[in-house]
Structure 1
Amino acid sequence: MSEKALISAVYLRDGADTGRHAAKGEGDIDEPIWLHFNVAGPDAKADVKKAAPYIDDAMIEALCATDTRPRVEEFENEYLVILRGINLNPEEDPEDMVSLRIWSDGSHVISAQRRPVYAARKLAAKLEAADTPASSSEVIVGLTVNIIENMASPIADLMEEIDELELEMIDGGRPEHRIKLADLRHKVLLLRRYFNPLRAAVGLLKDLATTWLGEKYTRKLRNAHDDLTRHLEDLDAARDRLQFQQEELVTVLSDKLNRNMYTLSIVAAIFLPLGFLTGLFGINVGGMPGVENDVAFWVVTGGCTAIAGALALFFRRSGWF
């Protein structure tokens, strides 16, 4: 088996080496155990089949699928849980969510990832340090709860970015705010893309937990579902706030454009008759008055100035500016 495929193995309650990490590739396949795989490699399906021959090919295909959406499926005594979590990997975008796939038959738990999932790493470290072994229910619920808990900080950071943008736009929207708005709206839309099906999946898992996982874990899933609902409501509020900011920005920029066009219109109206006069006196035909008069230029200039002043006064009294 590839060392890269099997990331961790933890014996569960009633296992031969309960509470401690199992050696990769060792142990009785009938013992309760949690195996966590990286299925990004080309031999991932074969590695999963070798380590867990009790899983049928359809479940292995689901665990190793390239693209997934959150869902929960029940197959008699087997369960397939596919979750999406915020990407906490360094130098990667949080909204580029990672997928965690979980299969269980009530005794064995097989989980798979294509990119690192901090929820699985966190739970594995916790179980390794624990004095008492965990059950398969604790693993499934722990992974689900960890994924939802890890959403709190990135969403809080996103809301803070929206708050900062609102404060910047109080003094007036600027063209560069369009880029920030578009980026934030893109992040919110990407997160909401998986949050709705994730909430539905966790809700179904919560309903199944009453008979499958027991009251203790049902209560944990209920609380996690409530937290996820609150996160989704925050994203809905963020989407509405960004939409309002977008409309405000368009209004502000439109007002600036209208004021500029208004000013240009007034200037054009004032200089329109002046342009007519200068064009008229600039034609090269005989009979132009004042051609031989030395003060004619100053008379025309003064007349143009008077006309401009009269038009400006007229527009002023008419309330144009």
Structure 2
Amino acid sequence: MDGIHQWRIDAGGAAKAIEPGADDVAGLDADASGFVWLHADLAREGARDWLEAAGLQPLVRRALLAPETRPRCTLHGEGVLLNLRGVNLNPGDEVEDMVSLRMWITAKLVITVQLRRLMAVGDVLAEVERGQGPDHPTELVARLALRLADRAEPVVAGLNEKVDVLEDQVIDGISASSRFDLGTIRRASILLRRHMAPQRDALSTFEIEELPWIVPEGRTRLREATERMTRLAEELDAIRDRAQVVQDQIMDTRAEAMNRQMLILSVVAAIFLPLGLITGLLGINVGGMPGADNPTAFWIVTGGLVVLGVLLVWVFRRVGMLGR
């Protein structure tokens, strides 16, 4: 079945494929020298039906087949339910629409389930096919977590580079397209951070669980995966904060430009206000208007208005309301 990958892995990491059958998967590890890894890709036809009929405990089956999950680690008997998330690198999808990886881990059996293609799982499957598989269930979990971090790091680095470009654009002048890009970056960083932080906590919880089958080497590898997730979460926090700073700079720049424009309009209005008052006063149609019979009165008034306008401009420049 294309959607089911099943391996028996010995203590040296050598793997032997097992053809999926109708047997209860809980019995696969009875005589195993190492452990069994069962991976189900529910995007493939028949994989869900096979997993539902695999004889798992109801709680475990519901957790593995749940339509929506968040990163978490839950102890159930002698096993652990662990949910992780990886960036969505499938063509046509958004990277921040993270793909879930559900796991049921015991001393001799690891079941992993994905609803969509997850490249990090493909990386580990390729290692197993080359005979370089993990030698212990905790090592398998650590490898999967590290591969998830490997796939996420270029995405986070790309967001950092985009913020660098936007910071340069703030110096040169903000355009509408850069503001749109800023919104996209902030949205991606927030959505990625929403899953990275709980994933760090889930791995840390798994690493400190007092289970007899978690070996010291596995705890060290899990701690390494936890630190990688912690660093990614911190970088996403920094990206979000830098994006907020850029947004504040954009708003400050726009407010400064608007204030300058309003100042210019206010100065123009202040200059023409007394000129308009004088011309309005001289335009009233009543008797006794001075200069009504003088042919040069118009030019005298016009010259006076020009002188008054120049004087007002000089005054505004002196008080710093106009550029010097």
- Fold similarity call, TM over 0.5: yes
Give the length in aligned residue pairs: 313
Structure 1 position 170, deviation (Å): 1.7
- Which letter does structure 2 place at the counterpart of 1:121? G
Q: Deviations along 1:181-234, whole A, 9 cap, x unmatched?
A: 222111111111111111100101111277432111111111111111111111
Distance 1:293 1:120, change over 3 A: same
Q: Give the structure 1 partner of residue 79 of structure 2.
A: 78
Mapped contact 2:127–2:133 kept (Cα < 8 A): no
Structure 1 position 251, deviation (Å): 1.3
Mapped contact 2:138–2:222 kept (Cα < 8 A): no
RMSD across aligned positions (CA) = 2.5
Q: Deviations along 1:141-194, whole A, 9 cap, x unmatched?
A: 221221122221111111111111111112234454332222211111111111
Structure 1 position 111, deviation (Å): 1.0
What is the distance in 2 between the residues matched to 1:200 and 1:298? 85
Q: Give the structure 1 partner of residue 8 of structure 2.
A: 11
What is the distance in 2 between the residues matched to 1:43 and 1:131? 29
For residues 133-282 of structure 1, the aligned pairs below 5 Å read 134-208=135-209, 211-282=212-283
Structure 1 position 297, deviation (Å): 2.7
Secondary structure of 1:212 counterpart: coil
What is the distance in 2 between the residues matched to 1:28 and 1:87? 32
Q: Deviations along 1:258-301, whole A, 9 cap, x unmatched?
A: 11111111111001111222333344445544445433332222
- TM-score w.r.t. structure 2 length? 0.87
What is the distance in 1 between the residues matched to 2:306 and 2:177? 41
Structure 1 position 23, deviation (Å): 2.8
Structure 1 position 115, deviation (Å): 1.3
Distance 1:132 1:36, change over 3 A: closer
Q: Given the alignment, which residue of 19, 31, 39 partners 1:23?
A: 19
Q: Give the structure 1 partner of residue 52 of structure 2.
A: 49
Distance 1:306 1:265, change over 3 A: same
Q: Give the structure 2 partner of residue 303 of structure 1.
A: 304
What is the distance in 2 between the residues matched to 1:146 and 1:293? 95
Secondary structure of 1:93 counterpart: coil
Q: Give the structure 1 partner of residue 94 of structure 2.
A: 93
Distance 1:286 1:20, change over 3 A: farther
- In structure 2, the gaps of 5 or more residues are 30-35
- Which letter does structure 2 place at the counterpart of 1:12? I
Secondary structure of 1:8 counterpart: strand
- TM-score w.r.t. structure 1 length? 0.88
Distance 1:218 1:133, change over 3 A: closer
What is the distance in 1 between the residues matched to 2:211 and 2:106? 16
What is the distance in 2 between the residues matched to 1:178 and 1:136? 47
Distance 1:19 1:28, change over 3 A: farther
Secondary structure of 2:209 counterpart: helix
Mapped contact 1:10–1:124 kept (Cα < 8 A): no
Distance 1:68 1:182, change over 3 A: same
Mapped contact 1:127–1:134 kept (Cα < 8 A): no
What is the distance in 1 between the residues matched to 2:203 and 2:216? 15
- Greater mean deviation of Cα atoms: 164-173 or 41-50: 41-50
Identity of aligned residues (%): 37
- Greater mean deviation of Cα atoms: 211-220 or 127-136: 127-136
Q: Deviations along 1:23-45, whole A, 9 cap, x unmatched?
A: 34377842343222233579765
- Greater mean deviation of Cα atoms: 145-154 or 264-273: 145-154
What is the distance in 2 between the residues matched to 1:195 and 1:161? 20
What is the distance in 2 between the residues matched to 1:285 and 1:41? 95
- In structure 1, the gaps of 5 or more residues are none
What is the distance in 1 between the residues matched to 2:177 and 2:298? 49
